Structure 1
Amino acid sequence: MIEDIDSRLLDQLGARVSDAQGYLRIDERRAELAELDRKTAEPGFWDDVSRAQQLSKRAGALRDALAEYDRAVELLELAQTALELADEDEAFATEAREAAGALSELIDELELSSWFTGRFDEGDALVTVNPGQGGMEANDWTAMLVNMYVRYAAEKGWKVTVLDEQPAEAMGLDRATLQIEGRNAYGMLTSEAGVHRLVRISPTDEKERRHTTFAGVEVLPVLPDDIEVDLNPADVRVDVYRSSGPGGQCVNTTDSAVRLTHIPTGLVVTCQNQKSQLQNKDAAFRVLKARLYELEEAKRADELAELRGERKEVSFGSQIRNYVMYPYQLVKDLRSGVETGNVEAVLGGQLDEFVVGYHKWRVAQ
């Protein structure tokens, strides 16, 4: 909450709103939305369902962005009007402070969204978590990270679909892939790509010794249908098998799980959490397409992984973030320097400080 309100503060906020009109390309977005609305009103628009859904989703994202900017303009006008009336009634000063505080928070969010200018930043993400060094501990750590991202997505109002989740024999997970849908989901979650290190007293160690374990997080974009990827179906071996682990009706009683092997590259993708073999196959091809696109981009850019970041061994010395639960409580991002002692809150999904902190660091580089 802003405690002191005056015309200088509102002038500063007004300048930030004016800047937002430029970096958010408000006029361009209004024109694009008008054109999309014209297309959606055309006869036969829904004849091509896939294209129609894609355009409708884009129109929805534009409306949300424009609504946020319009709300910022509205709050600025409200604060300015209330401040003018504050000399006559102290209640208006309170109203001006509240409007200015809400505007400041909203402008912070608009500035954050302006950092996501990559081709797929505004779209959905595929997040895969795999255990690294640490044995059973790494499997448990993988499950903890998956839970953290599911809760973070819920905090952001994003939709999560579990595409693949393979339970480990003793505890935790052997792997998991989530599709996370929401505005700027891919751009935001690129902060998580890399190796995550956990230090704690092992719950399975009778001598209560400290253990260090690792898990790797991969973040890829969900590619739009108009993105061309060199994927010949003849190069893909499709295997079906019975799903393992928890599932809904029929999931574990039929050969609904799908494994794709891309023969030229050796890439393997599995999906088993959808209700039918067809749904699992579609989801698996979506992940495979994203991974092949990443490989193509890496070759063109002459680097290991442009979308996912530098690949490192999932072990000590390669981590991007440490989660220490013993002998002290600390989560620290080794890139941005952001840290907190509230490990439980972070693992419970309160990740914004680290996600935003990483992108502030990235933009400053």
Structure 2
Amino acid sequence: MFDKLDDLLIRFEELMSELSEPDVANNPERFRKLMKEQSDLAPIVAAYKEYKQCKQNIADSLAMLDEESDEEMRELAKEELNDAKARVEELEHELKILLLPKDPNDDKNVIVEIRAGAGGDEAALFAAEIYRMYQHYAESKNWKTEIVEADETGIGGMKSVTFMINGQGAYSLMKYESGVHRVQRVPETESGGRIHTSTISVAVMPEVDDDIDIVIDEKDIRIDVMRASGNGGQCVNTTDSAVRLTHYPSGIVVYSQTEKSQIQNKAKAFALLKAKLYDIEQQQRHDAEAEMRRSQIGTGDRSEKIRTYNFPQGRVTDHRINLTLYKLDKIMNGDIQEIIDACIAADQAAKLAKMNEN
């Protein structure tokens, strides 16, 4: 580990030197790549420099204890020694986590697809509530959300909704939301007071940008344009601006109708299609690497039931990590960071355990 850290320290110094060169500043693409690498290495380098300083503090304290006869100075040296030893242990753990292989998609924006499952109108209502939960969470992170497509019911529910979240590191956090979400409550239409169980599915896909090669052949696509349906502004519902793409090889159909411009809707639809094709590719890769998939939290089987929202008891349980929180109202209002942090910690622990096995 420390050989690797020394190499990273050297690379960091090289990057700082390169970034100061005039030629680099005049090449935006190269400058962007070097800045990205520098920002990725910065936390590792900072932790490793602190680690080396703490190791030096331990050596200095031990030397002082060997040489010093004054009791007060010896006590001070012992205190500094204990503090440095404790911090070294913390930093060793931090560095192991920082050196874990990073998901190349973590910094990307995301496309989220929510679909009502079992439960009819109640599932559609819950899908709309989960969509609002993610909207509030995105607002708390200063991320921007943008609807691509929504199939709304007349009573405030959503049979399906697809939306984009634009924000630094959105995928690194939102990827833990993929899976089946279950709700247990008494529907407003239930006269007997019985608790019903309904489900929705959430798929979180990284936005596909230029660094990912997803080739879509024109002959494999059918493009239909039509008038948008449902809620919309004056122009949205009166022009043929909605776009539907059908991808023959995969059978994927995507639809975008939220923009006034057909060109904008077409761009959104192609972005969604690329994300879906890339997602299929990722899932196939995970299926081929079954052991790796089992060790991951949040990027596994989309059919996995990951969470239950129990309204009568005011609790939310994440089944992957056996976490139960009794603050359902806050969670439905977007306060999901504690759950995501727990998923990240469990994911890191699983990867560290796997690393230690090897």
Structure 2 length-normalised TM: 0.72
1:296 maps to what in 2? 281
Q: Is the 8 A contact 1:236 1:261 kept in 2?
A: yes
Which residue of the other structure, out of 130, 135, 144, is the alignment partner of 2:115? 130
Assess, with a 3 A threshold, how the Cα gap between structure 1 residues 256 and 154 changes in structure 2: closer, same or farther. Answer: same
Aligned length: 306
Asked if 1:321 corresponds to 2:307, the answer is: yes
Displacement of 1:354 after TM fit?
A: 0.6
Q: Identify unmatched segments of 5+ residues in structure 1.
A: 1-18, 46-51, 78-107, 313-317
In structure 2, the residue matched to 1:334 is: 319
Deviation, structure 1 residue 275: 3.1
Once the two structures are superposed, the pairs formed by residues 1-365 of structure 1 within 5 Å of their partners are 28=11, 41-42=25-26, 59=35, 66=42, 117-303=102-288, 308-312=299-303, 318-326=304-312, 328-365=313-350
* Structure-1 separation of matches of 2:105 and 2:328: 31
Using a 3 Å threshold, how does the CA distance of structure 1 residues 363 and 66 change in structure 2: closer, same or farther? closer
Query: Which amino acid counterpart does residue 226 of structure 1 have in structure 2?
Result: D
Structure 1 SS opposite 2:108: coil
Change (3 A) 1:120 1:216: same
> Could you tell me how far 1:249 is from its partner in structure 2?
4.5
Q: Distance in 2 between matches of 1:205 and 1:22?
A: 61
**1:204 shift after superposition:** 2.5
Gap change, CA 1:344 and 1:232, over 3 Å in 2: same
Contact 1:243 1:255 in 2 (8 A): yes
Amino acid at match of 1:285: F
Q: CA deviation at 1:56?
A: 5.2
Identity %, equivalent residues:
34
Unaligned runs of 5+ in 2: 54-92, 351-358
Higher Rg: 2
RMSD: 3.9
Q: Find the residue that maps to 1:238 and give its secondary structure.
A: strand
* 3-state SS of paired residue (2:302): coil
CA contact (8 A) 1:113 1:184 kept: no
Once the two structures are TM-superposed, the CA of residue 294 in structure 1 deviates from its matched residue by 2.4
Superposed CA offset, 1:189-237 (max 9, x none): 1110000000111122233331111100001111121311131121011
- Mapped partners of 2:43, 2:216: distance in 1: 39
For the 8 Å contact 2:203–2:302, the answer to whether it is kept is no
The alpha-carbon deviation at position 112 of structure 1 amounts to 8.2
- Structure 2: how far apart are the matches of 1:203 and 1:173? 16
Q: Name the CA distance, whole Å, in 2 between partners of 1:110 and 1:125.
A: 28
Letter in structure 1 aligned against 2:133: M
1:154–1:138 CA distance, 2 compared to 1 (3 A)? same
The residue type equivalent to 2:127 in the other structure is T
